[in-house]
Structure 1
Amino acid sequence: MKKLIFVFVISVLCLNASSQNIEQEKEAIQKVIQTAYVEGLQNEGDTKKIDSGFHQHFHLLGISEGDEMWHLNINDWKSQQVKKREAGKLPLTGENKVSIKFQTIDITGTAAVAKIEFYIGTKLTYIDYISLYKFESGWKMVNKIFYKL
């Protein structure tokens, strides 16, 4: 009986530690997306923030007419935002500022997907699906697909 209780207690402790670890990983993912994507890329055009959370091989994928797709790598996307900043169109403020709400974060080992609502001002504009990998340096966004509302 003592062995059974011991095994039960150890199992509960392991599950509790595992769920705490998952919550820490979710918080880390939220921070990466908020800092690099929302603040760095969308609202500010801040290359240091962008580079902190996007992998160098990141791709934004979208669909065109028919069965066609397009893609944009992070360097080109970042360049577009830096040009906006240089033209005085960034940082965004007020009604144009981007914000997000996290719907789900699903983590399996070193892979994760975050589903977020993307707002411009108060208007829900996109649903984003962002894929991430956990590297030695931490979580990095590697891919994004979206649905425009």
Structure 2
Amino acid sequence: MKNSIKLLAIFGLIAVSLFSFIPKGSDTTLEEEAVKMVVLESYINGAFNELDAEAMENGFHKDFAIYSAKGEEISKYPIADWVAGVKKRKANGYDPADEKNIWKHNFASVDVTGGAAQVKVELTNQGKHVFTDYLSLLKFESGWKIVAKVYHRH
């Protein structure tokens, strides 16, 4: 009986030691990875590298828009127009292997709080930093969706 208690105590200590290696906030880390995956599949690959309109439609909310300053006004480019442009470009002989069509990315920051997220992503093309994009995401019952973008063109 004493050996059984000692054995249980040893296993208990081992379990506590193993769980101490799990990073604190691992739920946040999992959500950050889920957000990055949506951005990678729908935005980086969908809108840029692969011109995959279906991936865009899956990862962007139907009310998504790109917002930019135009004088003192806000210009709004809706997702439906962007998807139509992607489909047209792909139909017109888009070559994903062409160097000018290869976009590299860097996740400069990913910030998740509950069901809201903000991603800062830097896009380079042919070795030049072209865009710094700020993507806002919300978590819906169906998962994370990109809902808005503002950006800086370098």
Whole-angstrom CA distance in 2 between matches of 1:92 and 1:71? 31
Whole-angstrom CA distance in 2 between matches of 1:127 and 1:76? 21
Instruction: Give runs of aligned pairs for residues 86-125 of structure 1, distance below 5 A.
Output: 86-91=91-96, 93-125=98-130
Deviation at 1:94, TM superposition (A): 2.2
Contact 1:112–1:131 (CA<8 Å) still a contact in 2?
yes
Partner of residue 141 from structure 1, selected from 140, 146, 149? 146
Alignment partner of 1:130 is 2:131: no
Whole-angstrom CA distance in 1 between matches of 2:65 and 2:115? 19
Deviation at 1:46, TM superposition (A): 1.4
SS at match of 2:72: coil
Bigger radius of gyration: 2
Worse overlay, 115-124 or 138-147: 115-124
CA RMSD for the aligned pairs? 2.0
Contact 1:60–1:143 (CA<8 Å) still a contact in 2?
yes
Amino acid at match of 1:28: A
**Match of 2:9?**
none
Whole-angstrom CA distance in 2 between matches of 1:90 and 1:79? 18
Instruction: Give runs of aligned pairs for residues 1-149 of structure 1, distance below 5 A.
Output: 19-64=25-70, 66-91=71-96, 93-149=98-154
Contact 1:36–1:54 (CA<8 Å) still a contact in 2?
yes
Whole-angstrom CA distance in 2 between matches of 1:98 and 1:56? 24
TM-score by length of 2: 0.80
Long gaps (5+) in structure 1: 1-12
Deviation at 1:103, TM superposition (A): 0.8
> Percent identity of the aligned residues?
33
**Match of 2:7?**
none
- How many pairs were matched up? 136
